[in-house]
Structure 1
Amino acid sequence: MTRKLLAPPPAGSDLKPIYGTGHPGVVEVLRFFRDPITMVAQRRAQFGDITYMNSFGLKFVIPLTPGGSEEIAINKKKAFANEPAWGFLIGPFFRRGIILMDFSEHRHHRRIMQEAFNPTHLKGYLQDMQPMLKDRVANLPVGDDVRMLKELKQVTLDLALEIFLGMDLPRAEADRINKAFIDCVDAGLSLIRKDIPGTKWARGLRGRKVLEDFFYEHLPAKRASVTPDLFSVLCHAKSEDGDTFTDEDVVNHMIFVLMAAHDTSTITLTTMVYYMAKHPEWQRRAREQSQGLPPDISYDTLDEFTVLDRIMKESLRLNSPVPGLPRRAIEDTEIDGHFVPKGTYVSAINLVNHHNPALWKDPEHFDPDRFSPERAEDKVHRYAWMPFGGGVHKCIGLYFAQMEIKTVMHNLLLRYEWSVPEDYVWKLDNSTLPVPKDRLPVRLRAL
């Protein structure tokens, strides 16, 4: 394998250089999409603690240790910026979302948005989602070929529309909004990044326009009244200093948050269903615990779902919905003692740490008990497990997501059992967010 230098360290410095293969970007991207875990293992064997890869015509530095990931996430020297990296990947479709902001501006917007995810609002969201999710789960189709990705995606979309938007949309309108979100997400990692008819990029731009028109149409009504949904909360949210969001802020944040909450929860739920089908003993343990708890989850009982919590954490480790934390160096800097020149893109990629045999025992094996207090493998390093990111950009909706996921799974366990053929192994499509190519067919049977 070839070995090519990223950039020579400054003369007289004790910084070490960073090497990669120097292969063309399209080759590296396609290899990563095809088998990212193997590719990372090969890079670690050849280059050690850090490497770089060509991607979309850019060079991305990838630390291969949890310490390197932590340096990017914490960004103590403020040498890395989110907006140039995320803006390149998804900016045309999710511009001005909270993840595309930096430093004082990010802090300003996050302080206002934090109100929407305080304990009072979280308790309200949880109470409101119970009957809706119970009804949606009760109406899942049963049979020998139920595509769970599709079914769970519909459940999470319905939840997002009801809890985040406070709207009961006709199915055709809900499907139109859902398609717009899908088109925006799919466009982010498109290899063709120009507005050419028929491409993912062009569909993403059209999807963004659909979403903007939708939110601006409904915004006056949300400004005019106070309701418990996220849309209304953001319209009326104030920071401790009395700062509020403009109409444009509300629309931008709603488009980003709705996408982030919808897709990440769908992938997590689908991954949990897959591993509980492959490991029926864990499905049984989770069901027995759910049967011993109240049918409706309350804010005070969330922590009692200890088995479900371990399954969720292990599923997030094995298949993180958000693959990494891209940034761009805005000055010459370093990662783990290696020289990173100004203008270089960097990314802390979750699977680098989540599948590292130096951090986890038998990392490719599904083993939720690794998160038990007795073993606590995730505590070996604070960035050994990082599905929600870290630092000031850590996912603002992580507690909402966990409430939603536990509620859906609790109801699923109480109503159904599911299985896959013993020799079935899913294949993931990593070209956008990691989802099963076949949408995960299971045999779903009512209890």
Structure 2
Amino acid sequence: MATHADPHSPALAATGPEPAASLDHIPGADGLPVVGSTLAILSDPPRFSRTMLERYGRIYKVNSFGYYTVSLIGPEANELVLFDRDKLFSSEKGWGPVLDKLFPRGLMLIDFDHHRMDRRALSIAFKPGPMRHYADSLNRGVARRMEEWGAENPRGEMLFYPAIKQLTLDLAADSFIDLPLGAEAEKINQAFVDMVQASVAPVRKPLPFTQMGRGVKGRKYLVDWFGRETVRRREGAGGQDLFSQFARATREDGELLSVQEVVDHMIFLMMAAHDTITSSATTLVHQLALHPEWQEKIRREVLAVTGGEGRAVGYEQLGELELTEMAFKEALRFLPPVPSIPRRALRDFEFGGYTIPAGTQVSVSPGATHHLADIWPEPERFDPMRFTREAEKARHKYAWVPFGGGAHMCLGLHFAYMQIKILMAHMLTRYRIEIAKGYEPEWQAWPIPKPKDGLRVTLKPL
């Protein structure tokens, strides 16, 4: 079952003071004494969300983890909160209570003019020149790993999620920071794993032997390493990798970002890139295994564009992989890697006939919106044809928001498309993806969706 509607996961719970004004006029559930709806959310987040939608509609409050969150569901809510024309909402105050010990001052945790200036400075890393460099690096790394998968798994049987997670970490070490694989790369990778797990740890203080303690220790290691490397790369040691681009990034007045700013942005982007791509690639592979006809369509498209098995996808060829992109978009609809997006209201605002007071923790849910049957007929059916150009034009612009929207739209979304297309090009021209008949993995909803058993697949050489 898809974990498609999770606006109340532990990672996204309201963790600040309740607003001074009452929320009594907002429909919703108080849940059990003391714990509120926390246990119901933890046990089955999608079921809880479906129940809330059916019972209260698309605006409702939830008492969980000690605080109230007001959930706003649907394209209009997404546009209001994400586009944020009137600067009503703070991303920093929405995400901060969850991530500030681990990923402080990353792009997602700053607002308005500060965010705009830093985002503009960092966008240099995603210009065509650097992107061509990343494409070459990704092609080499993915091709090498596809051969290794075949050699390591002579019967083709493997757990896909841990394999693709290791691959995306290795690719990030290569194309993002130009770091050879080895002990140092392993330490960096482990630090990111510990930090992501700590983001949803129930114990929020970094006590020894706790997950939060390991996460904070991992952050300290990364801060020290990236700090030293930023200085070294500014002195001429850097190349075309993303980190070196960030190290040399300047503001509009020509001033370099501070070393600490480079470090904070780099740590956040590395986390956001590899974990979300791991989740969405796993969803796509699962769906392609269930729908071999789409595997074959993408396989034929890749062969037509590249000219043969296992050939690199040129940067200029990426736009030609239209069916591959449609399938990826449908995977992102089916199970978005960030099912819910928190904000905090800075002023009172009106929506859907309700006045929601300043200070309220607000959540919009790509996961829930992507499964509204009035927008997506038969929402549990995997159908990439939902993303033809004609179909996209006919829908509300904010009906599909896996990358967020507005000023905080994911800076690396084009990198994500590129990595998935290159992965599919090398994988599907070497292997046919199969899963056992009747096999349906159970998915963990948070902090980022993943199959609890790792997703058992068989890669059969073509």
TM class by shorter-chain length?
A: over 0.9
Aligned partner of 1:37 among 43, 46, 66? 46
Inter-partner Cα distance in structure 1 for 2:56 and 2:170 = 46
Q: For residues 359 and 36 of structure 1, what CA distance do their matches in structure 2 show? A: 22
On the 8 A contact 1:187/1:201 being kept in 2, the answer is yes
Letter in 2 for 1:400: F
Q: Greater shift after overlay, 392-401 or 302-311?
A: 302-311
Taking the aligned partners of 2:119 and 2:255, their CA distance within structure 1 comes to 11
**Structure 2: distance between partners of 1:30 and 1:280:** 38
Match of 2:26 among 8, 18, 37: 18
Matched, 1:361 2:377: yes
Q: Partners of 1:404 and 1:428 in 2: how far apart?
A: 23
Match of 1:185 in 2: 196
Map 1:19-168; keep pairs closer than 5 Å: 19-24=27-32, 26=35, 28-140=37-149, 141-142=152-153, 143=155, 145-168=157-180
Change (3 A) 1:27 1:293: farther
1:93 counterpart SS class: coil
Task: Give the 3 Å change call, closer, same or farther, for CA 368–32 of structure 1 in structure 2.
Answer: farther
Q: Deviations over 1:302-348 (max 9, x none)?
A: 12112211110111011111122211112222333322112111111
In 2, the alpha carbon distance for the partners of 1:106 and 1:251 equals 16
TM-score of the two chains, using structure 1 as the length reference: 0.92
Output the CA distance in 2 between the equivalents of 1:316 and 1:72. Answer: 20
Alpha-carbon distance, 1:238 to partner: 2.1
Partner of 1:411: 426
Paired letter, 1:432: P
Change (3 A) 1:282 1:418: same
Instruction: Kindly provide the amino acid, as one letter, of the partner of residue 122 in structure 2.
Output: M
Counterpart contact for 2:231–2:259, Cα < 8 Å: no
Q: Is the 1:50–1:65 Cα contact (8 Å) retained in structure 2?
A: no
The list of structure 1 runs, each at least 4 consecutive aligned residues, that deviate by more than 6 angstroms after superposition, is: 6-10
Query: Are the equivalent residues in 1 in contact too, given 2:139–2:422 (CA < 8 A)?
Result: yes
Where do residues 222-301 of structure 1 align in structure 2 (5 Å cutoff)? 222-225=233-236, 226-294=238-306, 295-301=311-317
Tell me the SS of whatever aligns to 1:195. coil
Identity value in percent: 37
Paired letter, 2:239: T
Taking structure 2 as the reference length, the TM-score comes to 0.89
Range with greater deviation from structure 2 (331-340 or 104-113): 331-340
Distance 1:375 1:331 in 2: 36
Q: Which moved more, 1:269-278 or 1:44-53?
A: 44-53
SS of residue matched to 2:63 = strand
Q: 1:211 aligns with which of 222, 236, 249?
A: 222
Gaps of 5+ in 2: 1-17
Measured against aligned partners, the alpha-carbon deviations of 1:214-268 in whole angstroms (never above 9, x if no partner) come to: 2123222211114101111111112443132111011111100111111111111
Q: Distance in 2 between matches of 1:20 and 1:332?
A: 19
Q: Superposition RMSD on alpha carbons, in Å?
A: 2.1
Are 2:210 and 1:199 equivalent residues in the alignment?
A: yes
Tell me the SS of whatever aligns to 2:336. Answer: coil
**Structure 1 unaligned spans of 5+:** 1-5
Letter of the 2:366 partner, please give it.
N
The structure-2 alpha-carbon separation of the partners of 1:389 and 1:86, relative to structure 1 and needing over 3 Å to count, comes to: same
**How far off is 1:358 after superposition?**
1.3
Mapped to 2, the partners of 1:53 and 1:406 lie a distance apart of 39
Partner of 1:301, secondary structure, is: helix
